[in-house]
Amino acid sequence: MKLRGKTAVITGASSGIGEATAFHLAKEGAQVVLVARRKDRLNELAEKIRTETDAQVLPIPADVTKREEVEAVIRQTEKELGAVDILVNNAGVMLLSFLEKGKVEEWERMVDVNIKGVLFGVYAVLPGMMKRGSGHIVNVSSVAGHEVFPSSSVYSATKYAVRALSAGIEKELSRCGIRVTNVSPGAVETELTHHITDTDVIDQFAKRSMTKLESEDIARSIVYAVTQPENVNVNEVIVRPTNHN
């Protein structure tokens, strides 16, 4: 119970890595704030966490691409649960497509959710964390933020951006007592690929057999990073499945 008394806000908590992370942080004793657009999924998870742990849970539906909604999440958290100790910027979309398909709206959506969503989260928690001289920001990037493959140009660009932001925030804020962890998962079995619309990419995925991680595998690495002693700042975590291709 290393996180007893701490409050953690997790974006993208309605499925996959965010859902597992919220659950694991609650099991470590944190009060958890669940953020995503699908209210029903957040409520279901809140109920499950309340049943299986004694953690306080606050589900708040919000769209991370809307700055005022992200700010409202942090204000409501501070009012109901107290200061935010941990922010997990996990919400993301991976709309892989070949550039020649010109799926401009999907490029924009990835930029909005994956980059602006992270920035809005950081913007909203920073004043409180700086005032208190402590806090931990976890940004979920990807191995696609370390290497680019055909169809991942825009997605990878957003995930390289997340890594750059993590590095920049760490350099600027370490002296203020704020810790930053950038997490780069390899392939994880979640709903992430369900939203891809490029049929060539879908066909390629269908033909490829892939070793995948479980969401819990990433959740445990996030718990590892945020449960280190205050003087330890785990900056970068890369987790790939064994036997990946």
Contact flag: residue 16 with ligand NDP (CB under 6 A): yes
Pairing of strands 178-185, 31-36: unpaired
CB 199 within 8 A of CB 151: no
Interface stretch with ligand NDP, choices 16-24, 128-136, 197-205, 235-243 (CB under 6 A)? 16-24
Residue 147 vs residues 13, 138, 158, 186: alpha-carbon distances, Å: 26, 20, 12, 11
Contact flag: residue 58 with ligand NDP (CB under 6 A): no
Interface stretch with ligand NDP, choices 30-38, 48-56, 121-129, 232-240 (CB under 6 A)? 30-38
Minimum distance of ligand NDP from residue 231's CB (angstroms): 28
Interface stretch with ligand NDP, choices 91-99, 119-127, 203-211, 225-233 (CB under 6 A)? 91-99
Contact flag: residue 239 with ligand NDP (CB under 6 A): no
Contact flag: residue 153 with ligand NDP (CB under 6 A): no
Contact flag: residue 38 with ligand NDP (CB under 6 A): yes
**Interacting residue with ligand NDP among 33, 55, 154, 192 (CB under 6 A):** 192
Q: DSSP alpha helices (H): ranges in the chain?
A: 16-27, 39-52, 67-80, 104-110, 117-132, 153-173, 199-207, 215-226
CB 30 within 8 A of CB 86: yes
- In this structure, what token pair is assigned to residue 153? 């140009």
| Beta-carbon count within 10 A of 178 CB | 22
Cα distance between residue 149 and residue 169, in whole Å? 27
Known catalytic membership, residue 155? yes
Nearest-CA neighbor of 137 among 83, 71, 87? 87
Please tell me which residue in 123, 155, 160, 224 is annotated as part of the active site.
155
Interface stretch with ligand NDP, choices 34-42, 50-58, 75-83, 99-107 (CB under 6 A)? 34-42
- Vertex 34 angle, CA 33 and 39, to 5°: 135
Amino acid at 7: T
For ligand NDP, which is the closer residue by CB, 166 or 190? 190
**Interacting residue with ligand NDP among 18, 59, 121, 135 (CB under 6 A):** 18
Contact flag: residue 17 with ligand NDP (CB under 6 A): yes
Contact flag: residue 196 with ligand NDP (CB under 6 A): no
Active site residues: 155
The residues of the shown chain that bind ligand NDP, judged by CB under 6 A, are: 11-18, 36-38, 41, 63-65, 90-94, 113, 140, 142, 185, 187-188, 190-192
